């Protein structure tokens, strides 16, 4: 398997070559040259595999420059009941005759991002050791991504993490999760400012190519290709758990932000998974719902981006969306370039043609929107009906998923976080506290480790310079 850019750079690269990369040199995203098709015989064979074995089969289709035995070791080290709470890794819970919940949030940081990120940590360590290199991961977080990255990279050889977060603006739980890590390769940098200030510093340092190379700076953001095949796995897994044979079709309901999770669903469908609808749910930040309704994609300004009670979906643009549109434009890289590089940069928006819009409609997407009131009502109803507490993001997906249910087609709603991360919203909805997993019971009382600095590039750069040669590894 080889990888190309969505914007026309036809240089074919291997999986290992793009593993540690962000954007392609032409500013596009990496995609495989084609999606491997899975036939009925293969589906039948995969149906009974345990999770890590299924993961190995799917990853092998996308990774052909790591020996299968090495990949097997990596996959089996990643998907354990120790790390994910059960041998199923992603258990399926049937709610009623039409809807099931796929539980993706039993990893170390209680959100679905762990499933891909834990694999990424092991893949990075393997690849860096193979090359004899080290990597300093620089990132900015408002909560979920940063903690998933830190828990994936903690204690890994050849890797240091420098994570910027807005001082005093994360939830108590999120801050405790990150700052309580004592691993010497993890550096929490609390910035005096808001999330955008953190992100601006990361962007400034990544643009400075000389510094980037000298300090061996890399990132682990949502556009990294390797996260996608890791997420494709649980769509196949969820399908097999929810159905009896491979004639049945299902729909997936996915609470979406940067379009990473649902992009993996699209890829699974392209590979031949019998999917009826991909139900895309947004919160008040409805860039994507707007697009699927109208064919216009309009990036929001920061003052138009709402702070909501499903904060991990508070996006102004959806960084993985270009991968889907590239496919839906029949892989026309010139057109993708024109829309994303030219029109979007110039005008902050673009429209697809009516003909393109009609073609996009054949890819199975339907969309809807969920507001704070919807979220509270869905959490409340789910608690009343099933004695089950769901988190606000999962509620967004479930709300829209239920609206789009078709007779005779089971909907699998994705649980993307545990309610323990968002106690305020849960209290507002059902007037009680969510349970915390016992492993995290004493989290608030652990010693915390972070450094504080003003929102200035120079301060962060100096900190990196003085710590990026630590022999801690």
Q: Does 434 bind ligand PLP (CB under 6 A)?
A: no
Torsion angles phi and psi, residue 354, rounded to 5: -55, -35
DSSP string, 376-406: HHHHHHHHHHHS----HHHHHHHHHHHHT--
- Residue of 256, 283, 367, 378 interacting with ligand PLP (CB under 6 A): 256
What is residue 408's three-state secondary structure? coil
Cα–Cα dist 191/179, whole Å? 13
Residue 428 Cβ vs ligand PLP, minimum distance, rounded to whole Å: 18
What track of x and - describes contact with ligand PLP for positions 406 through 425 (by CB under 6 A)?
Answer: ----------xx--------
The stretch among 4-12, 190-198, 208-216, 254-262 that binds ligand PLP (CB under 6 A) is: 254-262
Largest CA distance in the chain: 61
Q: How far apart are CA 47 and CA 94, in angstroms?
A: 18
Q: Residue 259, interface with ligand PLP (CB under 6 A)?
A: yes
Minimum distance of ligand PLP from residue 62's CB (angstroms) = 18
Q: By CB under 6 A, name the one of 100, 258, 411, 425 that touches ligand PLP.
A: 258
Give the number of residues in contact with ligand PLP, rule: CB under 6 A.
16
- What gap in Å lies between CA 94 and CA 92, rounded to an integer? 7
User: In the annotation, is 113 catalytic?
Assistant: yes
Residue 279 touching ligand PLP (CB under 6 A): no
Q: Please give the backbone phi and psi of residue 174, each rounded to the nearest 5 degrees, phi first.
A: -60, -45
Whether the Cβ atoms of residue 276 and residue 364 lie closer than 8 Å to each other: yes
Name the segment binding ligand PLP (CB under 6 A); options: 122-130, 166-174, 202-210, 251-259.
251-259
Nearest distance, CB of residue 274 and ligand PLP, angstroms:
23
CA atoms of 296 and 72, how far apart (whole Å): 43
With CB under 6 A as the contact rule, the residue among 158, 229, 255, 434 that binds ligand PLP is 255
Q: Which CB sits closer to ligand PLP, 78 or 221?
A: 221
- Residue 133 · residue 213 · CB < 8 Å: no
Residue-wise over 422-431: b if at least 16 C-beta within 10 A, else e? Answer: bbebbebbbe
Q: Pick from 269, 369, 393, 436: which binds ligand PLP (CB under 6 A)?
A: 393
Point out the residue whose Cβ comes nearest to ligand PLP.
Answer: 260
Q: Which of 113, 156, 369, 421 is catalytic?
A: 113
Residues with a known catalytic role: 113
Q: Which residues bind ligand PLP (CB under 6 A)?
A: 111, 113, 144, 222, 255-261, 312-313, 393, 416-417
């Amino acid at each position: 398997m080889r990888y190309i850019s969505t914007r026309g750079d036809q240089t074919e690269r291997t999986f290992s070559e793009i593993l540690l990369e962000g954007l392609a040199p032409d500013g596009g995203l990496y995609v495989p040259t084609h999606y491997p098709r899975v036939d009925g015989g293969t589906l039948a064979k995969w149906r009974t595999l345990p999770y890590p074995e299924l993961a190995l089969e799917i990853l092998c289709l996308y990774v052909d420059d790591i020996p299968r035995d090495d990949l097997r070791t990596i996959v089996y080290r990643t998907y354990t009941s120790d790390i994910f709470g059960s041998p199923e890794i992603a258990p399926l819970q049937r709610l009623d005759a039409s809807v099931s919940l796929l539980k993706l949030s039993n990893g170390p940081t209680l959100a679905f991002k762990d499933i891909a990120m834990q694999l990424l940590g092991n893949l990075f360590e393997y690849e860096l050791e193979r090359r004899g290199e080290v990597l300093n991961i620089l990132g900015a977080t408002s909560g979920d991504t940063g903690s998933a990255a830190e828990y994936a990279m903690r204690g890994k050889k050849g890797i240091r993490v420098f994570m910027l977060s807005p001082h005093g603006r994360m939830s108590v739980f999120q801050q405790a999760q990150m700052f309580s890590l004592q691993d010497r390769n993890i550096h929490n940098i609390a910035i005096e400012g808001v999330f955008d200030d953190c992100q601006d510093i990361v962007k400034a340092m990544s643009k400075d190519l000389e510094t980037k190379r000298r300090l061996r700076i890399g990132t682990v953001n949502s556009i990294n290709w390797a996260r996608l095949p890791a997420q494709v796995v649980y769509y196949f897994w969820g399908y097999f758990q929810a159905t009896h044979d491979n004639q049945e079709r299902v729909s997936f309901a996915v609470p979406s932000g940067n379009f990473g999770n649902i992009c993996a669903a699209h890829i699974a469908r392209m590979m031949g998974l019998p999917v009826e609808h991909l139900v895309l749910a947004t919160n008040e930040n409805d860039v994507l719902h707007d697009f699927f309704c109208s064919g216009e994609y309009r990036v929001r300004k920061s003052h138009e981006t709402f702070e909501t009670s499903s904060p991990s979906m508070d996006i102004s643009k959806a960084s993985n969306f270009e991968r889907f549109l590239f496919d839906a434009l029949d892989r026309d890289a010139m057109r993708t370039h024109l829309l994303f590089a030219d029109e979007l940069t110039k005008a902050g928006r673009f429209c697809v043609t009516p003909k393109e819009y009609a073609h996009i409609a054949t890819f199975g997407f339907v969309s809807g929107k969920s507001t704070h009131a919807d979220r509270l009502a869905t959490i409340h109803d789910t608690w009343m009906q099933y004695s089950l507490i769901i988190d606000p993001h999962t509620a967004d997906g479930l709300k829209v998923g239920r609206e789009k249910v078709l007779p005779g087609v089971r909907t699998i709603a994705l649980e993307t976080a545990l309610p323990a991360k968002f106690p305020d919203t849960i209290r507002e909805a059902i007037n009680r506290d969510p349970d915390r997993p016992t492993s995290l019971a004493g989290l608030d009382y652990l010693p915390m480790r972070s450094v504080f600095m003003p929102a200035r590039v120079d301060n962060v750069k100096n900190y990196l310079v003085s710590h990026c040669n630590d022999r801690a590894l």
